[in-house]
Amino acid sequence: MVEAYKPNDLKEALELLAFNDCTIFAGGTDLMVKRKRWSGLVPSFEKPVMFISQLQELREVTEDNGMLTIGAACTLSELIDNELIPEHFKTVFRQMASPGIRNIATIGGNICNASPAGESLPLLYALDAEVVLQSSCRKVELPIAEFVQGVGKTLLKSGEMVTAIKVPKSSFTSITYRKVGTRKSTALSKLSFIGLAASDEEGLQDVRLAFGAVAPTVVRSRDAEEDIIDMLKLGSLDISQIIDDYSTLIKPISDQRSTALYRKKACIRLLVDFIINSLAREVVR
């Protein structure tokens, strides 16, 4: 048996964390599955467990000065129901797991699990989200692409916890999200793609493209995006150049869910479709 803590507020939680190396438990939908044992046996945790889903400070969504702050322990269902959350976030959340899991799984948990197939990640990468890390003595913000280091690896240190995710509010004129899963519900993704574009009367201003489950971490390249913006602005769209750029970044594997070839082809086809059918349209606007 391990010790379990259930702090009453964030301050208490951070103080406990300062002296105890804990496994932080929000919804538990990944932690419990990883520790699934012979039916009838209690899952065994290597470290003391700290439950955080009761911490009100971690369950709030606020908007301030164009910055959306999402409490790390907000469940996916809560976010789907929250008025401050933009529709394109909800599109992503609604396709995750099943209703039962969405009712307890949290956005912070999905980030900290750092799975290549973590479905909130392409969205958060594309939006330049920052992860708020807190310990009893400091509070730092890290870009999500920096926070997530690899498969199951993050920069979270002992004594720290993710308390919130901050997303700069921006508006997009084209939004495409595609999860390619193993079935239509309760599925992990074979791959996912998000494409965002913003344009105004002067033409295309921004493009964001991110791919999930096709490399150890989310694939996003600001350089490639800027090249695309330039190409479109100059009217010299070179699709094969774009495909080449992304082909070197997208390095999927074959596994029990899909094949490397399929993942790669599907990603490239989604990318090309987005460029031709969404970006090109943005340019003409």
Q: How far is the CB of 225 from another protein (least distance, A)?
A: 19
Nearer to another protein, 200 or 244 (CB): 244
Q: How far is the CB of 204 from another protein (least distance, A)?
A: 22
Q: Which parts of the chain are beta strand (E)?
A: 4-5, 23-25, 49-51, 61-64, 67-71, 130-134, 139-143, 148-150, 153-154, 161-168, 174-181, 189-200, 203-212
Nearer to another protein, 233 or 269 (CB): 269
Tell me the residue length of the chain: 285
Report the distance separating Cα 98 and Cα 96, nearest Å. Answer: 6
Q: How far is the CB of 198 from another protein (least distance, A)?
A: 23
Q: How far is the CB of 221 from another protein (least distance, A)?
A: 18
DSSP labels, 19-44: HS--EEESS-TTHHHHT--STTSPP-
Q: How far is the CB of 252 from another protein (least distance, A)?
A: 12
Chain residues binding another protein by CB under 8 A are 33, 37-41, 98, 178, 180, 182-188, 240, 243, 255-259, 261-262, 265-266, 268-270, 272-273
User: Phi and psi of 85, rounded to 5°?
Assistant: -80, 125
Q: How far is the CB of 254 from another protein (least distance, A)?
A: 9
Nearer to another protein, 265 or 281 (CB): 265
Nearer to another protein, 180 or 197 (CB): 180
Dihedral, CA of residue 150, residue 152, residue 158 and residue 164, to nearest 10: 90
- Burial-class residue 132 by CB neighbours within 10 Å (0-12, 13-18, 19+): buried
Nearer to another protein, 100 or 203 (CB): 100
Nearer to another protein, 90 or 94 (CB): 94
Contacts of 116 (CB under 8 A, 6+ apart): 151, 212, 213, 214, 215, 216, 217
